[in-house]
A and B are shown apart, each in its own frame.
Chain A
């Protein structure tokens, strides 16, 4: 057995390597907010430029536009000091509990996330703390400010949506890790995506469908709502838990077996799944049927489609 030859060869490696590994003090990776903010600041310009990424990083790859308004796409200037970037039409972000959120009060953006009306005081659930608006976006602070963070009352069990009250204005913070686009290693398994949306069992799913068009300009077709099908979907998704890759690694894997041109061509054949939770929120997953992969902009991760997932897609998502 070739792997056993490898094992035997490793058995005889230098003794100083064995000693070194025995005594090595691994540095624990810290996930301090400072580091997160640092990485976020570094790619903030990218964020403003690529605000169209909003719903799904894959959407941007496809060249889809977020059509809701002109003020969220393509703006490269920054807001004037003291000016609320959301009110002024520029994108801003919230970093909270180790994840990043897009802050918006645009109805079309909210609708795409399953929120039917503009955010008001009625949407404020549990008060979570005060925020400060810095050049990097909204940030937690221990000081009393006129900016407050609340749970989203209409879907309070999840962490995909928060409510921000900034003075008189109410906005939603919508889960999206696109801000970490510069860090290929910063991605999460599929269970994290579901957890953000409060899905810990199949019963918390309301429907799975395919988007015909774009997130904000299309309709969901072939909506699957049957309990048995949703249970099968949940189980199939969870089989992808370990096949989770970052952008660069996914790309490298693909380029091992195909040319760049072929890869780009197969990426173009993207389909878009819309998942709606029992609480009415929506999120999207890109599906590359020709490659056999899924992508979530929320977790910035690529998931290798397992046999179970493929069987589900074949059964329910045929065009």
Chain B
């Protein structure tokens, strides 16, 4: 079924919208949740939450990209679950990703004001837009989808070490870009 048709089911409050969403995007959503949480039961719970959130948001929301819309919900749901259970040290997928993201955080300055996440997103969008498509796809696959470095290395036909270096370079580039823009977190 086309995305527009599924969205119409939501607008008509037809509960088969949930079944169709699960059929078409269940695996996609589960993959993202698993990359963050690594515990299957928790990931499945996130995916179910995602369908319900979608049900509550559509209408009035009419997403331009239904897939990305679902991806964002499942990703946010997974990180909420991660944060709730963080003290129990149950998840490691996100731990690794977060520690890598430290490399992108610019050093604190004297005069600059801390910026909001929304503003930071705009800077990241600008930076991403200036990257080569392959580098952009790699960054997004690693830090948005949460793909493992070794899987990305396999997809590009290079060693894990080389992919680690490549990701390190990308993170440093982002840090340099944000520093140049005077961004402070």
Contacts and interface: CB of A to CB of B under 8 A. Distances in A.
Interface of A: 1-22, 24, 26-30, 185, 188-189, 241-242, 244-246, 249
Interface in B123-152: 124-125, 128, 133-134, 136-138, 140-141, 143-145, 152
Interface string B59-92: 0000011011101100110010001000000000
B185 A6 contact: yes
A13 B124 contact: yes
28 contacts: A2-B102, A3-B101, A4-B83, A5-B185, A6-B101, A6-B104, A7-B143, A9-B124, A10-B101, A10-B143, A11-B72, A11-B75, A11-B76, A12-B72, A12-B117, A17-B144, A21-B140, A21-B145, A24-B133, A26-B134, A26-B137, A26-B155, A28-B157, A185-B162, A242-B164, A245-B165, A246-B165, A249-B165
A7 B134 CA distance: 20
A109 to B, nearest CB: 30
B161 A9 contact: no
Nearest to B104: A6
B114 to A, nearest CB: 9
B161 A10 contact: no
Given A11-B72, A185-B162, A17 B157 contact: no
Nearest to A244: B161
Contacts of A16: 65
B131 to A, nearest CB: 10
Contacts of B120: 5-6, 9
B144 A11 contact: yes
Interface of B: 28, 64-65, 67-69, 71-72, 75-76, 79, 83, 94, 97-99, 101-102, 104-105, 117-118, 120-121, 124-125, 128, 133-134, 136-138, 140-141, 143-145, 152, 155-159, 161-162, 164-165, 169, 185
B80 to A, nearest CB: 11
A17 B128 contact: yes
Contacts of A1: 98
Contacts of A24: 133-134, 137, 141
A16 B117 CA distance: 19
A73 B20 CA distance: 72
Would you call the interface of chain B mostly helix, strand, loop, or mixed? helix
Contact of A13 (B104, B121, B141): B121
Contacts of A6: 101, 104-105, 120, 185
A24 B158 CA distance: 17
A14 B128 contact: yes
B118 A12 contact: yes
Contacts of B159: 188-189
A22 B105 contact: no
A55 to B, nearest CB: 24
A5 to B, nearest CB: 5
B161 A189 contact: yes
Given A10-B143, A13-B124, A21 B155 contact: no
A30 B157 contact: yes
Nearest to B139: A21
Contacts of B101: 3, 6-7, 10
A19 B161 contact: no
Given A15-B65, A18-B72, 7 more contacts: A10-B101, A13-B125, A14-B128, A15-B72, A18-B67, A28-B156, A30-B157
B156 A21 contact: no
Contacts of A10: 101, 121, 124, 143-144
Nearest to B136: A17
A18 B71 contact: yes
Nearest to B63: A15
Contact of B140 (A17, A29, A242): A17
A28 B152 CA distance: 11
A21 B136 contact: yes
A20 B136 contact: yes
A188 B99 CA distance: 25
A19 to B, nearest CB: 6
Contacts of B137: 20-21, 24, 26
B125 A17 contact: yes
Contacts of B67: 18-19, 22
A184 B118 CA distance: 37
A6 B100 CA distance: 11
Contacts of A30: 157
B134 A9 contact: no
A13 B158 contact: no
Contacts of A185: 162, 165
A175 B64 CA distance: 56
B138 to A, nearest CB: 8
